[in-house]
């Protein structure tokens, strides 16, 4: 079992409160996933010609300042824009793919959590309530965010095995469920050049979407083809630069509820995580139909 | 069915932002379980009003989480909102009314009583039904009435894929389209006894629909070892 949550804001007032509300949603989903928690926030776009990366260090002395200097030296310019617990966010003058490749070679002990223009990913093993406080989620503003609470069934409980998983630039995936054909699929995707950090089944779903979109599929097409190629149970929420998408497998053992008001669109594993949002009692709420892609934002089918 | 002498103003009220679900359920299992009991601010909490065995009425103002009114006996539970997974699961008797929609496995394994859903019910509505009656004013999702043994499922809207898969002796009545019949589920003749049952169920559910517009589905009795000599025990 896991818990997933997504929140998309429609007003400036709510944007400034995004972290407060996502934190409240995650706390409601703690029972569904007490092992680990993670979030993806979409905020503060990097300037033109720059990218933004989120990096995690397992050591106590990651030397974030030194890394910023090294990135600036390599790529023209770079700024350390924030540190939360074991994670740091940098903006770098250059292409995300180049930064990613350079980091993998020069700092292999670090884990790249996300790359793009606006995405920031934070995740860690441990109780969701601790995570919410340690990462001071309540202070994070942004346009939209996804969250996950994990109860591991398929692989180890570590920060690297936690969700969200990056699925490409400004894309990420959170998953409630389990996949049964992930080993063979991972082998096939590795042959196609997709890089995996763990033996986690959900990371394979993320890698699958990355690969499909690299082949030219839109996110919507990639999600639809996952219905054929992924064997198992899933409710997915996929974050994009402009919004998020939701898909449940056709058997639909894993729950999902969606709701919308004039101020926000939300999805969650259970309604109680939506009930904490302002105006929830008057929201239009519904259960997403199995096998149908739901999406918000404009860039999904670009 | 319970008849209340209590007015909404004087009813025992639980506010789940200050009272716990456990306090509510313990009260519903004790001598206070009579007349009208109101529950406000349910906020999607799980296991609200489960295990009641009393002639009382419970009104819940708002959306509830999983297993609301599970194992209900005798009580009338009304939800003025939507329900999460498994509303009225394993109900024994009484009535559960959902004014909104219900999530998956509504009325699962219920043995008696009446479950009325005024909105839609999603997948696996009435799974393994064992004798209760379910009336859904809207539509139901896939695999509804899977392995249903006794009782009736009335659907005024449409039914999803694999309706009545591996069905035993429950009766299914659907007014709208069926996405597909499950294994061993077939369309059956609507005889007078069925029209009468359907009319009574719709009246009990306070749903206005013409029984003649419904189609009956039931088991072809090819999948399980049905022996006509044992018909009396079903």
Query: Is the pLDDT at A63 greater than 60, yes or no?
Result: yes
Q: Which of A25, A272, A285 to mutate to test the interface with B (most CBs of B within 10 A)?
A: A272
- φ, ψ for residue A20 (rounded to 5)? -60, -45
The alpha carbon of A160 is separated from its chain's Cα centroid by a whole number of angstroms, namely 13
Q: Considering only CB atoms, which residues of chain B are within 8 Å of chain A?
A: 43-46, 62-63, 65-66, 82, 84-85, 101, 103-104, 122-123, 141-142
Strands A87-93 and A50-56: antiparallel
Q: Do you find a cis peptide bond into B123, omega within 30 degrees of 0?
A: no
pLDDT value of residue A198 = 92
The answer on pLDDT for A9 being more than 90 is: yes
pLDDT higher than 90, residue B232: no
Tokens of A173: 């995936």
A156-172 per-position pLDDT tens digit? 999 999 999 998 899 99
Q: A68 — phi, psi (to 5°)?
A: -60, -45
Q: Which residue has the tokens 């260090």?
A: A57
Average pLDDT over residues A171-199: 95
Q: What phi, psi does B10 have (nearest 5°)? A: -100, 0
Q: ∠A16-A42-A289 over CA atoms, to 5°?
A: 105
Which residue is it, tokens 């009003």? B49
Pinpoint the alpha helices (H) of chain A. 12-15, 18-28, 64-75, 96-106, 128-134, 182-191, 201-214, 219-229, 272-275
**Using H for helix, E for strand and C for coil, what is the string for chain B?**
CCCCCCCCCCCEEEECCCCCHHHHHHHHCCCCCCEEEEEECCCCCCCCCCCCECCEEEEEECCCCCCCCCCCECCEEEEECCECCCCCCCCCCCEEEECCCECCCCCCCCCCCEEEECCCECCCCCCCCEEEEEEECCCECCCCCCCCCEEEEEECCCECCCECCCCCCCEEEECCCECCECCCEEEECCCHHHHHHHHHHHHHCCCCCCHHHCEEEEECCCCCCCCHHHHHHC
Specify the DSSP class assigned to residue A51. E
Distance separating alpha carbons of residues A19 and A14, to the nearest angstrom: 10
Strands B171-174 and B150-155 turn out to be: parallel
Lowest-confidence region among A185-199, B185-199, B217-231: B217-231
pLDDT tens track for A243-260: 899 999 999 999 999 999
Q: Rounded to whole angstroms, what are the CA distances from B95 to A47, B117, B146, B199?
A: 61, 11, 22, 17
The whole-chain average pLDDT of chain A stands at 94
Mean pLDDT of chain B: 94
Q: If you search the block for the tokens 């319970």, which residue do you land on?
A: B2
pLDDT of residue B4: 47
Residue B180: its chain A contacts at CB < 8 A? none
Task: Kindly state the average pLDDT of the residues A41-57.
Answer: 97
The Cα-based distances of B54 to B11, B49, B72, B74 in angstroms read 16, 12, 9, 6
**Per-residue model confidence (pLDDT) at position A300:** 42
- Confirm if B128 and B155 have CB atoms less than 8 A apart: no
Q: Which of A255, A29, A48 is nearest to A128 (CA)?
A: A29
CA angle B22, B28, B31 (to 5 degrees): 125
Q: Looking at residue B10, what is its pLDDT?
A: 76
pLDDT tens-digit profile of B169-222? 999 999 999 999 999 999 999 999 999 999 999 999 999 999 999 999 999 998
| Cβ contact B63–A275 (<8 Å) | yes
The pLDDT assigned to B7 comes to: 73
Residue A270's closest CA among A32, A37, A36, A40? A32
CA separation for the pair A202, A207 (Å, rounded): 9
Mean pLDDT of A15-39: 97
Is B230's pLDDT higher than 90?
no
Question: CA–CA separation, A117 vs A98, rounded Å?
Answer: 14
Minimum distance, in Å, between the CA of residue B192 and any CA atom of chain A = 36
Is the pLDDT assigned to residue A297 strictly greater than 90? Answer: no
Q: Nearest-CA distance from A292 to chain B in Å? A: 13
Strands (E) across chain A are located at 2-9, 36-42, 50-56, 78-84, 87-93, 111-116, 119-125, 144-150, 165-168, 171-179, 232-239, 244-248, 257-260, 264-268, 284-286, 294-295
Contact check, Cβ <8 Å, B63/A285: yes
Give me the phi and psi of B39, to 5 degrees please. -125, 125
* Nearest residue of B to residue A288, measured between CA atoms: B122
How far CA B167 is from CA of A112, B88, B174, B197, B218, in Å, comes to 52, 20, 15, 19, 7
pLDDT tens sequence across B123-155: 999 999 999 999 999 999 999 999 999 999 999
pLDDT score, position B224: 78
Closest approach of B76 to chain A, Cα-based (Å): 24
The pLDDT score that the predictor gives to residue A302 is: 34
Q: Which residue of A has its CA nearest to B44?
A: A272
* Closest Cα in chain A to B142: A251
Pairing relation of β-strands A171-179 and A2-9? unpaired
Helix A219-229 to helix A201-214 angle, to the nearest 10 degrees? 130
Count of CB contacts below 8 A, A vs B? 44
Distances (CA, A) of A139 to A3, A18, A262, B108: 22, 8, 23, 43
Contact A15, A142 (CB under 8 A): yes
pLDDT over 90 percentage in chain B: 89
The model's confidence at residue A298, banded by pLDDT at 50, 70 and 90, is low
> Which among A255, A272, A286 has CB closest to B43?
A272
Nearest of A186, A194, A198 to residue A167 by alpha carbon: A194
Which two tokens mark A140? 């994070």
Q: Which residues of A are catalytic?
A: 2
High-pLDDT (> 90) share of chain A, %:
92
Residue written as token pair 């429609």: A10
Burial class (CB in 10 A: 0-12, 13-18, 19+), A157: middle
Specify the 3-state DSSP secondary structure of A244.
strand
Residue A91 tokens read as 């903006």
Residues B30-53 have pLDDT tens digits of 999 999 999 999 999 999 999 999
Examine the pLDDT at B231 and tell me if it is beyond 90.
no
Three-state secondary-structure class, residue A293: coil
Interchain CB distance below 8 Å, A285 and B82: yes
Mean per-residue pLDDT, B163-174: 97
Residue A301 in this model has a pLDDT that exceeds 50: no
The whole-angstrom separation of Cα A38 and Cα A279 is 25
Question: Which tens digit of pLDDT belongs to each residue from B81-108?
Answer: 999 999 999 999 999 999 999 999 999 9
Tell me, what's the pLDDT at A299? 44
The reported pLDDT for the residue numbered B233 is 66
**Distance separating alpha carbons of residues B164 and B182, to the nearest angstrom:** 5
Q: Which tokens hold the place of B194? A: 């069925």
């Amino acid at each position: 079992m896991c818990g997933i949550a997504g929140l998309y804001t429609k007003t400036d007032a709510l944007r400034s409160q995004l972290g407060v509300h996502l934190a409240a949603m995650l706390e409601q989903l703690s029972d569904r996933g007490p092992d680990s928690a993670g979030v993806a926030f979409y905020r503060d776009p990097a300037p033109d010609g720059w990218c933004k990366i989120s990096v995690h260090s397992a050591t106590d002395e990651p030397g974030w300042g030194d890394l910023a200097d090294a990135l600036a030296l390599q790529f023209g310019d770079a700024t350390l824009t924030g540190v939360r617990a074991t994670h740091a966010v940098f903006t770098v003058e250059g292409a995300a793919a180049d930064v990613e490749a350079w980091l993998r070679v020069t700092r292999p002990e670090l884990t790249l959590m996300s790359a793009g223009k606006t995405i920031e990913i934070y995740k860690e093993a441990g109780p969701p309530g601790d995570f919410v406080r340690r990462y001071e989620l309540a202070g994070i503003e942004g346009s939209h965010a996804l969250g996950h609470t994990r109860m591991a069934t398929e692989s180890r409980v570590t920060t690297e095995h936690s969700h969200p998983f990056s699925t490409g630039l400004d894309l990420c995936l959170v998953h409630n469920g389990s996949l049964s054909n992930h080993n063979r699929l991972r082998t096939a995707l590795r042959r196609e050049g997709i890089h995996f950090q763990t033996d986690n089944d959900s990371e394979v779903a993320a890698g699958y979407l990355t690969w499909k979109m690299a082949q030219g599929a839109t996110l919507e097409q990639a999600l639809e083809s996952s219905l054929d190629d992924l064997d198992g149970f899933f409710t997915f929420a996929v974050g994009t630069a402009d919004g998020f998408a939701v898909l449940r497998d056709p058997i639909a053992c894993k729950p999902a509820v969606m709701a919308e008001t004039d101020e926000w669109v939300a999805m969650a594993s259970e309604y109680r995580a939506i009930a904490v949002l302002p105006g929830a009692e008057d929201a239009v709420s519904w259960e997403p139909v199995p096998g149908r892609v739901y999406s918000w934002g404009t860039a999904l089918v670009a | 069915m319970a008849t209340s002498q209590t007015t909404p103003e004087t009813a025992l009220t639980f506010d789940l932002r200050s009272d716990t679900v456990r306090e509510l359920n313990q009260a519903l299992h004790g001598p206070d379980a009579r007349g009208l009991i109101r529950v406000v601010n349910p906020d999607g909490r799980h296991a609200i009003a489960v295990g009641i065995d009393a002639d009382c009425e419970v009104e819940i103002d708002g959306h509830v989480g999983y297993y609301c009114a599970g194992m209900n006996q005798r009580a009338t539970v009304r939800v003025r909102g939507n329900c999460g997974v498994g509303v009225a699961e394993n109900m024994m008797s009484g009535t559960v009314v959902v004014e909104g929609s219900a999530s998956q496995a509504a009325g699962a394994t219920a043995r008696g009583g009446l479950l009325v859903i005024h909105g839609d019910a999603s997948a696996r509505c009435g799974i393994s039904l064992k004798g209760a009656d379910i009336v859904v004013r809207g539509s139901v999702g896939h695999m509804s009435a899977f392995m249903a043994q006794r009782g009736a499922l009335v659907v005024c809207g449409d039914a999803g894929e694999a309706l009545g898969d591996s069905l035993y002796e429950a009766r299914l009545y659907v007014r709208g389209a069926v996405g597909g019949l499950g294994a061993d589920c077939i369309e059956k003749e609507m005889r007078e006894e069925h029209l009468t049952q359907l009319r009574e169920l719709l009246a009990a559910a306070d749903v206005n629909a013409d029984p003649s517009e419904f189609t009956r589905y039931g088991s072809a009795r090819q999948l399980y070892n049905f022996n006509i000599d044992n018909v009396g025990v079903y």
